[in-house]
Structure 1
Amino acid sequence: MPLLFAVALAFLLQHFIGALAWAGLLAVITWPLHQRLLRRGWSGIGSASALLAMLVISFVGPAIFLFNTLSNELATVERVLGQINQTGIPAPYWIARLPLVAEPALKWWQENLAAPGGLNALIHSTAGDLVPHLTGTVRMLGSVILANGLYLFLALLTLFILYLNGPAVVRYVDHAGERITPTHYSVLRYLFPLSVRGTALGLCSVALLEGVVLGLAYAVAGAPAPALLAVITGYLALIPGGAPLAFSLVSLLLLGQGHPDAALGLFCWGAFELFLVDKFVRPRLIGHRVNLPFLAVLFGLLGGVSTMGVLGLFVGPFMMAVLFWWLRGGHVATLQSAQPATEPVAPDDKAA
């Protein structure tokens, strides 16, 4: 009977499980800050409102900067494209050295880009073919934006309620967990906040580091709009594989502009920096709290995001933490070896 009820409840809330999950994850991640504000004399509503405002600003602020920079850069791009369309752009010397495709590639460039007005004709012909698809995409995009706006509102509302009634919610969850799996629930509720907070710290810190370091590299290499590319790289770095995709595309852009030395230097620097981050920084930030090795963190992140999307970034390392706890003997005593000396083992985590 309880299992059937759980299945029926999941079916009923299937469209809102994502919003509830995000609210729970954000509550777990930020709960120590909430507790600290309460200990300093803040009211529950004041602390919840401040943390909610902080989360909104941390996500909306970079987005506003991105769109503002993008609008400025689009004007520059439009002006450059107009000049190129009037004069044409000669084919780079490296096209003639391409194996197998040098002749057709050079011919296509001469017909479409080297001749004055060729770029305008190419854009019109390509845009004409894409108009029916773009119209359907825009219509679908509108409904998707409205739906995601509703999910975001529900997630923030749920998070606000969790800040106010977190201890009561935890008592209900503890009661249910102890009834379902009394033997292992204490381990699960201990590892979950540690892995989730470690993952959040690792992802956000690495994304900020990647955006700043690679943004400076873009500026040194002479890439166009380095600040815009840095923000985009920071967002992509939240997902495993996003940062190498970003600096590889910028390297190809520099190569297409006729700067092979800058393209090669940027790619080599990006690969070196990515090796340092993935080998030392990210595994230590994410796996150190629950004593996970590098490969466990890597496959947990990749497997989680490929199976469950962004939520899988948190679920994957948690499942790996449970797996390695079991491989190390499956005893409660092994949890102490996974706990860093500076991590407080306090009942406050029960409220997270």
Structure 2
Amino acid sequence: MENPMQHNQNKLFISNMMESAIRIGLLFILIVWTFDIIKPFVIPVLWGAIIAVALMPITQKLERALKGRRGLAASILALAGIILLIAPFWIVSSSIFDGVTHMIEVLQSGDVDIPGPTQKVADIPLIGDKLYDIWALFATNLEKAVLHFLPQIKTGVTAAAGMLGSSLGSLVMFIISLAIAGGFMAHAEKSAAAVSTVAVRVAGKHGEEWTSLTAATIRSVLLGVVGVAFIQSILIGSALFTFSIPAAGIFTFIVFILGIAQLPPLLVVLPLIFYVFSTHDSTPATIFTVWVLIAGISDSFLKPMLMGRGVDVPMPVILIGAIGGMITAGIIGLFLGAVILAIWYELFITWLKTEEEATTGSQALNKAEDKLVTAPGHDGANE
């Protein structure tokens, strides 16, 4: 039978436990509600921070040119970014709309004249005969061809409409992110101090170092992934425009997106090579092929040159983090994955250094004790 003191202690324990459970539950509910409220703003704020870190060196140069007016410099860059986003989207959308409108008018008038395929199309390895038959069917009997491929056409139109809607949503999100980035850049010192304070509070003395590592990794990924994708799209796009490939602007944009997604541009280039060989003479087709193939594999030597610059982390670590992050979390994962893996790498190196320092200190202490024991006049029994 328990005594009154033990009974009071049990009641006090149960009371404290219930009170703690209620507090933790209320705190959990508050956190969940707060996350639901801020969830729509998480991705734009993250993108805003990434853009601000990437553009900060340009902002500082523009600030010096504007005689110290940081707010004006940040606003100019944010507006320039918004214009650079809207202008290509508007041009591509207008081009697509005009093309679809023209196609509908041509189909309604019944005046459709599709040139037939040449023998060069049939000579293309593997797919030549099938491509020749499909092309010939559309050229000779368009109505029958449309009815035959109607399910595939519907699927393609639905996918294109979904892609257009998703692109419009992404455009609005990036415009908001650029506005947020302008605010971050205008108050860069206060933002950096706040981030450093939180990092030191969470991670201890290495927090400030990891904050600098995060900024450097973001710039490295921007150069090594987005920069390389941009260079590849320019190289391939120049070939497409030089050889007057239809819809060259759209294909160039697709190459840029594939480069950011770490997919080979050859997915776009190879079908275009077949097209050029079927419509051009052998010499220009060969020049086009060599041009786009070299541009397509240029990332193999551009990435080692650009990725990892300014970061004391091996390039493969950043590249693996960027690719894995993109697979897990989309385009923003390119940056988050690289940052997370870089921090883990620094943690691992810090742990190794700590172990080495501990081992070195222990060896030095043992050597000092050995010298003391073997010193003349030392009597171990008197210790």
Q: TM-score, structure 2 length as denominator?
A: 0.67
C-alpha distance in 1 between matches for 2:352 and 2:64: 34
CA contact (8 A) 1:84 1:119 kept: no
Over the aligned positions, Cα root-mean-square deviation in angstroms equals 4.4
Q: Which has the higher contact order (CA 8 A, sep 6+)?
A: 1
Return the offset for 1:18: 0.8
Instruction: Please give the alpha-carbon distance, in whole angstroms, between the structure 1 residues aligned to 2:326 and 2:279.
Output: 34
Name the residue aligned to 1:53.
79
Rate the CA distance shift 1:8–1:230 in 2: closer, same or farther, 3 A. same
Matched, 1:317 2:335: no
Instruction: Quickly say closer, same or farther: Cα 1:332–1:34, change in 2 above 3 A.
Output: farther
Equivalent in the alignment of 1:347: none
State the shift of 1:43 in Å.
2.8
- Partner residue of 1:186 out of 199, 208, 229: 208
Name the residue aligned to 2:272.
250
With 216-225 and 236-245 compared, the bigger mean Cα shift is at: 216-225
Residue in 2 that maps onto 1:18: 43
Matched, 1:92 2:119: yes
Partners of 1:122 and 1:248 in 2: CA distance: 25
Aligned-partner SS, 2:306: helix
Structure 1 counterpart of 2:319, which letter?
L
Write the distance in 1 (CA, Å) between the matches of 2:238 and 2:160.
35
Aligned positions of 1:18-167 closer than 5 A: 18-40=43-65, 41-67=67-93, 85-86=112-113, 89-90=116-117, 92-93=119-120, 95=122, 102=129, 110=136, 112-115=137-140, 118-123=141-146, 126-127=149-150, 138=161, 148=170, 151-167=173-189
Per the alignment, residue 212 of structure 1 pairs with: 234
Cα gap change, 1:200/1:272 in structure 2, threshold over 3 Å: closer, same or farther?
same
Q: Which moved further from structure 2: 280-289 or 17-26?
A: 280-289
Report the CA distance between 1:182 and its aligned residue: 0.6
Quick check: 1:251–1:267 contact (8 Å CA) kept in 2?
A: yes
Identify which of 131, 153, 169 aligns with 2:191: 169
**1:278/1:46 CA distance change after superposition, 3 Å:** same
Compare CA radii of gyration and give the structure with the larger one.
2
Q: Which deviations, in whole Å up to 9, do the C-alpha atoms of 1:217-246 show, x marking residues without a partner?
A: 234555335455334433443331153323
In the alignment, the residues of structure 1 paired with residue 238 and residue 159 of structure 2 have an alpha-carbon distance, to the nearest angstrom, of: 39
Matches of 1:44 and 1:203 in 2, distance apart? 28
Measure, in 1, the Cα distance between the counterparts of 2:163 and 2:269: 31
Instruction: Give the Cα–Cα distance (whole angstroms) in 1 for the partners of residues 289 and 336 of structure 2.
Output: 32
Letter in 2 for 1:113: F
Return the alpha-carbon distance in structure 1 between the equivalents of residues 251 and 239 of structure 2: 11
Residue 99 of structure 1: how far off its partner (Å): 5.9
Give the number of aligned pairs.
Answer: 327
Aligned match of 1:307: 328
Q: Distance in 2 between matches of 1:231 and 1:31?
A: 26
Per-residue deviation, 1:19: 0.7
Q: 1:330 to 1:270 in 2, by over 3 A?
A: farther
Among 279, 286, 289, the residue aligned to 2:307: 286
* Structure 1 contact 255–263 (Cα < 8 Å) conserved: yes
Question: Which one is further off, 202-211 or 253-262?
Answer: 253-262
Give the Cα–Cα distance (whole angstroms) in 1 for the partners of residues 178 and 152 of structure 2. Answer: 41
Give the unaligned 5+ runs of structure 2.
1-23, 355-383
- With 309-318 and 67-76 compared, the bigger mean Cα shift is at 67-76
Aligned partner letter, 2:340: M
- In the TM superposition, residue 15 of structure 1 has moved relative to its aligned partner by 2.7
Deviation at 1:295, TM superposition (A): 3.3
Residue identity opposite 1:282 in structure 2: K
3-state SS, counterpart of residue 204 of structure 2: coil
CA contact (8 A) 1:252 1:263 kept: no
